Structure 1
C-alpha cells in the first residue's frame, strides 16, 4: 500500500474510532474494528475508490454490525450487569464534544439505551445524530433504501426519546456535585453521601465476574450510601481523581497507574439518580492507557 493511502487512513482513523465506539460501546472492540477496516483498506483497489471517507465508513459500519450481532449473544451469559467501556474525553478520543447533544451521544446512559435498538437502528441513529449523515448517505453505507433508513431512524428516536432524562444540569453543576460526591466517598462521610443521592437512586456495578462487585442493582438512597461507604473503607491506598468520562464528569480510582474502577453519575433534580461503576479489568485497559 502506497504511503499516500496510509496517510489517508491515518487521517480518517480518529473519526472511524469515534463511530465504532458509539456503535459498539467498547473501546477495545472499536480499536479492533478500525484495525480490520485498515486491513481491508490495504487490500482494496484504491483507484476504484472515489471517496475514501465514505468507503471506509461503509466498511467499518458493516464490520461493527457483525460484531454487534455476536456481542448480543455473548452478553446473554455475561456475569452481572453489563456496562459500556468508559473513555476519558478530556481530549479528543471520541471527536469534538462541544455541544450538550454531542456529549450525550457518548454518555454511558445513552450507550445503554442504544443497546435496546436493533443493529441497523443503532447504526442509523449514530450516523444521523452524532455525525450528521443524511438519509441518502446512510442508505449508501447500509445498502438500504432511503425510506427504510428514515423508518429505522424514526423508530430509534422513539425508543431513545422515551427513556432520555428530562433534566439537564449544566456542566458546572455536574462538576460541583461530582466533586462533592468524590469528597464524601473518599472521606467515608455517609451522611454527606446520602444528602447527594436521590431517594430512588440506583447503583449498577460491572465486574464481569472477574472481580467482586454487586451482581444486582442496589436501589434506594440508604442502601446505596451504605454500599458506597463499604467500598470507600476497602479503598486504602487507592487514588481517586475527578475527570471527564464519556462527556460528563466522572471519578476514576487508580493504584500504581492502573485504573481499578471508573464511576459515572447521572444527576437529576433530586440529586444523583444513577451510579454506574465499571470495575471489570477487561474494560479498563483503554482508560488506563489514556491516563498513564
Structure 2
C-alpha cells in the first residue's frame, strides 16, 4: 500500500462522521457530500504525515468549508437563512442504510433541522460541534476563528433558541405510523373532528414549495388551522399515491401523481399526536433527492 492509499484509507474511516457534521450544518445531503469531498482534496494536497490528529484536522476543514458555503448561500439570496426546509434523508420503512443512519443519528429529525436553519452560521457550527459531537470549546474555537469563551457563548445562544422548539418524537416507529395512517385517512375523508383528535393543539405545519410558492415558506400553526388546511386538499389527495417512508428517521410519506413525485411529508409524533408536519413540494429540489430506490408507482 503506497502513501496515497494509506491516507485515503484513513480518510474513509472519518467520512461518515464528517458527512454527519456537514449535513447538520448545511441541511442537504448533496451539499454535505461536496463539503466532505473538498476536505479530501485539501488533505490530498497536504502532508498528512505532519497531521497529529487527522480526525480533528478534517473536522476543522469541513467546519470551515460549511461556514463558507453558508455565508455564500446567504449572500446569493436576499431572504435570510431559514426561509426553507432542509433537504430530507428518505428511506423505506424497513430502515435506512448505514450511511443514512449516520446522517440522522442523535435525533436529527426534520423539526430540529428547521430550527438549525434559523441560526447564524457561527452559532450553528458551535452548537453542532459541541452539543452534537462532543467537541470541547477549546477545539471548537479555532474552527470558527473565535476564542473558547466566544465559542461557548455562541453555542449557549444557539441552545436557547433550540430548547423547547422541537419535541422528542415517540420512539416506536409502528405507533408513529399508526398516527400518520389515521391522519391520512381523516384528511382524505374530510373528517375534521378526527383530525383534531390526531393533531397536537400547538401543531405546526411548514410547506416549502420553492421559488414558485407565493411568500416562500408557508407556516400554519394550531390544530384547527392545520385541520382546515388538510381537509381543503382532500379532492386532490384522492389522485395522489402515498408511499410510507422514513424521513430523517420519523414517519413520512412520499407522494406521487401520475408516477411523478410531488411532495415529501414528515410527521413528528409526540405523545401520540402529530406535533409538526413538514411538506417539501419544490419540484426542482425533489428531482435532486436520493430516495434510495423509493419510487411510488403510478395510478391509484
TM-score of Structure 1 vs Structure 2, range by shorter chain = 0.7 to 0.9
Give the conservation status (yes or no) of the 8 Å contact 2:170–2:272: no
Q: Answer with 38-47 or 51-60: which moved more.
A: 38-47
1:291 maps to 2:291:
no
Deviations 1:187-221 (A, max 9, x none): 43433334322455442211112479986334454
In the TM superposition, what is the alpha-carbon distance from 1:30 to its structure 2 partner? 1.3
Secondary structure of the 1:228 match is helix
1:171 maps to 2:177:
no
- Of the three residues 122, 125, 129, the one matched with 1:120 is 122
Give the conservation status (yes or no) of the 8 Å contact 2:19–2:103: no
Secondary structure of the 1:2 match is helix
TM norm structure 2: 0.80
In the TM superposition, what is the alpha-carbon distance from 1:83 to its structure 2 partner? 0.9
Match of 1:141 in 2: 143
CA change 1:39–1:259 in 2 (3 A) is farther
In the TM superposition, what is the alpha-carbon distance from 1:149 to its structure 2 partner? 2.1
Give the conservation status (yes or no) of the 8 Å contact 1:203–1:219: yes
Secondary structure of the 2:102 match is coil
CA distance in 2, matches of 1:7, 1:63: 22
In the TM superposition, what is the alpha-carbon distance from 1:273 to its structure 2 partner? 3.3
Secondary structure of the 1:132 match is coil
CA change 1:277–1:200 in 2 (3 A) is same
- Of the three residues 95, 102, 110, the one matched with 1:95 is 102
CA change 1:143–1:216 in 2 (3 A) is closer
CA change 1:242–1:144 in 2 (3 A) is same
Match of 2:191 in 1: 190
CA distance in 2, matches of 1:15, 1:108: 19
Deviations 1:37-93 (A, max 9, x none): 222222222222222222211111101011111223445348x95111111262331
In the TM superposition, what is the alpha-carbon distance from 1:129 to its structure 2 partner? 1.9
Match of 1:39 in 2: 41
Q: Answer with 125-134 or 194-203: which moved more.
A: 194-203
In the TM superposition, what is the alpha-carbon distance from 1:262 to its structure 2 partner? 1.1
Secondary structure of the 2:210 match is coil
Gap runs ≥5 in structure 2: 296-300
Give the conservation status (yes or no) of the 8 Å contact 1:88–1:245: yes
CA change 1:260–1:288 in 2 (3 A) is farther
Count of residue correspondences: 284
Deviations 1:152-174 (A, max 9, x none): 22222122225344x75343543
CA change 1:141–1:216 in 2 (3 A) is closer
Give the conservation status (yes or no) of the 8 Å contact 2:180–2:267: yes
CA distance in 1, matches of 2:26, 2:283: 18
CA change 1:52–1:272 in 2 (3 A) is same
TM norm structure 1: 0.82
1:266 maps to 2:273:
no
CA change 1:228–1:118 in 2 (3 A) is same
1:277 maps to 2:289:
no
Secondary structure of the 1:286 match is coil
In the TM superposition, what is the alpha-carbon distance from 1:137 to its structure 2 partner? 2.3
In the TM superposition, what is the alpha-carbon distance from 1:142 to its structure 2 partner? 3.3
Gap runs ≥5 in structure 1: none
Match of 1:205 in 2: 207
CA change 1:258–1:127 in 2 (3 A) is farther
CA change 1:276–1:164 in 2 (3 A) is closer
CA distance in 1, matches of 2:252, 2:152: 35
CA distance in 2, matches of 1:94, 1:21: 12
